[in-house]
Amino acid sequence: MFPELPIDLLLRLALQAANGILEIYKDEALMKQYTLKQDASPVTLADRASHEIIVKGLQAITPGIPVLSEEGAAIPYEERKQWEYFWCVDPLDGTKEFLQRNDEFTVNIALIHRQTPVLGIICLPVLQTLYYGSYNDGSWKRIRDKDPVRIYTDKRTTDWTAVGSRSHAGASEREMLNHYPVSRQLFAGSSLKFCLIAEGSAHLYYREGPTMEWDTAAGHAIVQYSGGALSMPSGGEFLYNKTSLINGPFICTAYKAT
């Protein structure tokens, strides 16, 4: 069990960050202002604006819980390993989708307890849609100002839909699908892929190529608390706050293996 958190405040914070992103997304001049990291991945003004909103908000809502964000990740492991809880944040997941203006980018906020995600929030700024899930309350979807709806993975079908990355799909990932009853494949950007599994629109997401902990943590929680699972391909537990924040391969499915 983890402490009760003000979920309404956290959801409002995710929307505030989403709206900060949209202000830049709608301004063509601001959209063009970005830099490249050492790995050649882009960092936009929207990444930074969302980061500042989220970090400031989380520090106000939960002042005793540290924040690990993609845009502020240079925290030594010697310090991180002491954390019992921490926030794992991707202020703008899917920066390439953002720059390509295909609307498939998200805000990811997750709470980690001893290497395991216990709460996750994913916000789709353009659609003003929230997905969220927690150990205590299960997983939910809220579209704009409508009432939230409880979501569950689809465990009944034998006709699976696989979802893959629009930007990172590889041959080995396609080969993995041959081991499952996949008859249809979708492509989506950012952490939206986890949301599709959590709500029952897809059943399998395999990723071999590298991701970072903030790419998966929120989606991991939402899938897990809607009835699905995310693990290593070998079946091993998928953990967070590792010495290296780089993830290995993972497989996300609509139900837990027995």
Kindly write down the DSSP assignment for every residue of the chain, as one continuous string: ------HHHHHHHHHHHHHHHHHHHT-HHHHT-EEE-TTS-EEEHHHHHHHHHHHHHHHHH-TTS-EEEGGG----HHHHTT-SEEEEEEEEE-HHHHHHT-S--EEEEEEEETTEEEEEEEEETTTTEEEEEETTTEEEEEETTSPPEE-----S-SSEEEEEETTT--HHHHHHGGGTTEEEEEEE-TTHHHHHHHTTS--EEEE-S-EEHHHHHHHHHHHHTTT-EEE-TTS-B--SS-SS-EE--EEEESS---
pLDDT at 174: 75
pLDDT at 211: 94
pLDDT at 171: 73
Residue type, 202: A
pLDDT at 178: 87
Q: What is the pTM of this model?
A: 0.95
Instruction: Please state whether beta strands 182-188 and 160-165 pair in parallel, antiparallel, or not at all (unpaired).
Output: parallel
**Closest by Cα among 46, 45, 32 to 126:** 46
pLDDT at 166: 67
At 53-110, the pLDDT tens digits run 999 999 999 999 999 999 888 899 999 999 999 999 999 999 989 999 999 999 999 9
- Give the tokens for residue 105: 């980018």
pLDDT at 117: 97
pLDDT at 39: 73
Are 87 and 67 in contact by the 8 Å Cβ rule? The answer is yes
Name residues of the chain where pLDDT drops below 50: 1
